[in-house]
Structures are given as structure tokens and as C-alpha cells.
Amino acid sequence: MNAFGFVGKSGCGKTTLICKLVRYFSTEGFKIGTFKHAHKGFQLDYPGKDSYRFKDSGAAAVCLISPTQSAMIIDNQLSEEMVFQKFFEFMKPLGYDFIFVEGLKQWDLLPKFCFVERLEEAGKILEGLVNCVGVITKTKETKDFWECRPVFFRDDVAALGSFIRHWVRQSH
């Protein structure tokens, strides 16, 4: 299983690009999984549903299972990185070809693409970022590389998809 992170400021297009990559690879028969780091928290369940009532009653974990979908809501007793690692390990035997992760930039083991508005911002944003394998820009740039990292225009899904395939072939 091959995982890639996508990091950058809120509203820069991470989700949009990941959705395009999911479509791009899915139409070619690849099985794709995604993770979203919700640093502000989230509400998956809502009042009135039995699963909400279980959680509201004090359950530390609630699992929902249907013929077509499953979900698990748990109280994090580990760091976000450890929870990500546990879910990642859980997904390994399920046969995903790629996992795309939005956020979780501090997880060093994950090769990442960093979003920037303009290439001039890359130095400041990439400072301290480990394992950045490419830079994604909002505007078309005249440079193909920035400090030995390839530069991609965020709307050029085919170029990014090709790079991801090449990266996977090189790493195996």
C-alpha cells in the first residue's frame, strides 16, 4: 500500500485535488483510501440516532456496520499520529492501492506534497517539513523544480498521477 500526504493552508485546494486524484486512479481500476486530519474536530454522528445515544451514554467506541458501509467512532487515547498509524495498519490487508492523506504534516514517515500559492512562498512553508517530495502551486509556474523537488500545477492531475506512479515504481 502506498500513502501520500497533501499539506498546505486551509482553502488551498487539497481536498479538490485529492478528489481529482481519487477519480483519476479509480477510473483505472485502483482501489483508493483517504484520510482527513480534522485539526478542529468533527461531528460524524448526530442526536436522535442510536449510535449517537451510545456515545452520549459514555461509550468510548461505537461501531456502525451495514451491508454497504462501516464506521468507527472512538475516543482518541493515543496521539493523532498513533491513531493514524493504527488505522493505516488496519487498512493494509484490505487491498488499497493508494492512501491519500490530507493534513497530518507532522507525520514524518509519509511522503508529502506541499501546497503553496506561489513558488516564492515555498521556502517559508517547507521549513521544518520532513519528507516533502513535491510542491503543488495554485498558478502555473515557469520552473519545473524547486530545490530538487518537482513543481506541479494543482490542476494538472495527469502529471501528478504520473509522478505518483513513478515514485511507487522506484520505491518497490
pTM: 0.85
The helix (run of H) or strand (run of E) holding residue 83 is helix 80-91
Average pLDDT of the chain to the nearest whole number? 86
**What local confidence, expressed as pLDDT, does residue 68 receive?**
95
Q: What is the pLDDT of residues 116-142, one digit of tens each?
A: 887 777 777 777 788 888 999 887 766
DSSP 11-69: TSSHHHHHHHHHHHHHTTT--EEEEE--TT----S-TTSHHHHHHHTT-SEEEEE-SS-
Where do the domains of the chain lie? Answer: 2-42+79-171
- Name the CATH superfamily housing domain 2-42+79-171: P-loop containing nucleotide triphosphate hydrolases (3.40.50.300)
143-153 tens-digit pLDDT: 776 667 888 98
